[in-house]
Amino acid sequence: MVNIICFRGKSNTGKTSIIYKILEEYFQFNFFYGFNKRTNSNEKKDITFSFKYEKKKIGINTGGDDKYNLYRIINELKNCDIIICSCRTKGSTELSNFLKKNNFQFDNLKFIEMAKKESFEINNYQTEKIKEFVEIFEDKK
């Protein structure tokens, strides 16, 4: 059975960004971000993939804002030991309701709630959320 750690929040609360940051800082991944001239920023695209880490298969899905990406959790990550993902707070893309509706079996579902923050607060906020993630993740390894 699967353990799921999900970053849950409204749009633009940093769900995708925090997962990328965890991949880079905790799992030592390196990413290249495409520069978007319209927004004048580096873009983080939604991703779904899995990898081995200390004898565990870890699944990643950052696209919790639409049903298509949530179906990817069920179809592509169902054989993972731990899934790290994101979802919205309510509606058809709230993960616990979506998984139950689609009969997806899992052992444990832990939510880390995300909220909008001012730009000067983001670094401290992300550090807190990463610590929260590490505590949950270490318990599931």
The H or E element spanning position 118 is none
Residue 57 predicted with pLDDT over 60: yes
Please tell me the distance from the alpha carbon of residue 128 to that of residue 54, in angstroms, as a whole number: 24
Question: How far is C-alpha 68 from the chain's CA centre?
Answer: 15
Q: What is the pLDDT of residues 64-111, one digit of tens each?
A: 888 888 898 889 999 999 999 999 998 888 898 899 899 998 999 999
Instruction: Give me the domains of the chain, ranges plus CATH numbers.
Output: 3-140 (3.40.50)
Quote the pLDDT of residue 121.
86
Quote the pLDDT of residue 119.
78
